[in-house]
Amino acid sequence: MHRNSNLHSFLLDKAKILTEEWYQSLDKVNSKGVYASSDPTVINTLKKQNYEFHLQLCKVFIEEEEPFFKDFKKWILSIAQDEQHQNTPIHHTLREFFRVRGQYLKFISEFLEMNPDEKENELKWTHLLTKVFDNVVLEFVEENQKYSEERLQAQQEMIKELSSPVIALDNNRALLPLVGEIDTSRASFILENTLEQCGKKGINHLYIDLSGVVIIDTLVADQIFNLIKALNLIGVKTTLSGIRPEIAQTTVQLGISFDNVSIKPTLAGALTLPPPKVTRP
């Protein structure tokens, strides 16, 4: 790495100018996300992030490569995980990285005009800046994608929990209303979550309402049957309600027997019955 403290000082002095010039030249009309915000707090944060970028990048001319990139990664992670940048199309963020790179190339040209004896280093510095920006952009994209996937997974888990709630009633009874399409993955989650919640809440009778479920394939029907068996093993009786004809047909084709399970046409009808006495094993 070709170090030059004079160039570092020159660019460091220009840091605030770089930030202000960059923000003033920002195409706020055609930009989206953080770059189009009119919120003063968001704008100030954005400028601060940009300014910190310059403070970090200038060090490339006075530090060794390994510690430089290690320290720079902290800034990259903070931006990749920043909520405002997460809500910004990634190509808009990349465009701004490239615009900032253009700023640096312009200021290096200005520095060389003031220091013609350094002209021989122009190509080295240009290559160095290109390498730095390439690394920053690549790391940003990787971390942004990784964090986005983690957030999406967390949201999906939350949706699963909200779509399969065990609602406590009175007399140690609870309701599990199932709505929408149930695939194998969701059915597996319902099995684990229901057993856990019934144990935590001391439930001894669970009403499973299927009136909001249109289609259940054989694998899912089998999972529901496994849930009923597992609940029985921990002393929880079950009542099924709202079974549609097509779902009943699926269970018959699968050979699943609900002979020992209380079944009611409607949830209202099931809940109006007095809770059965339960003897725990």
pLDDT at 261 over 80: no
What is the number of structural domains in the chain?
A: 2
- Looking at residues 235-255, what average pLDDT do you find? 81
Q: Do 12 and 130 belong together in one domain? A: yes
Output Rg (C-alpha) for the chain, integer angstroms.
31
281 within domain boundaries:
no
Q: Do 150 and 171 belong together in one domain? A: no
Tens digit of each residue's pLDDT (9 = 90 or more) over 186-202: 888 888 889 999 999 99
Strand 173-179 versus strand 262-264 pairing type: unpaired
Least confident of 134-143, 205-214, 216-225: 216-225
Q: By residue range, what is the domain housing residue 252?
A: 167-272
CA distance 257 to 252: 8
* pLDDT of res. 125: 92
* pLDDT of res. 246: 75
Q: Which residue has the higher pLDDT, 223 or 133?
A: 133
Q: Where residue 38 falls among pLDDT bands split at 50, 70, 90? A: very high
Domain boundary, last residue among 123, 155, 187:
155
- Looking at residues 167-173, what average pLDDT do you find? 88
Burial of 261: CB neighbours in 10 Å, binned 0-12, 13-18, 19+: middle
pTM of the model: 0.61
The DSSP call for residue 29 is T
Q: Do 199 and 258 belong together in one domain? A: yes
Tens digit of each residue's pLDDT (9 = 90 or more) over 98-121: 999 999 999 999 999 999 999 999
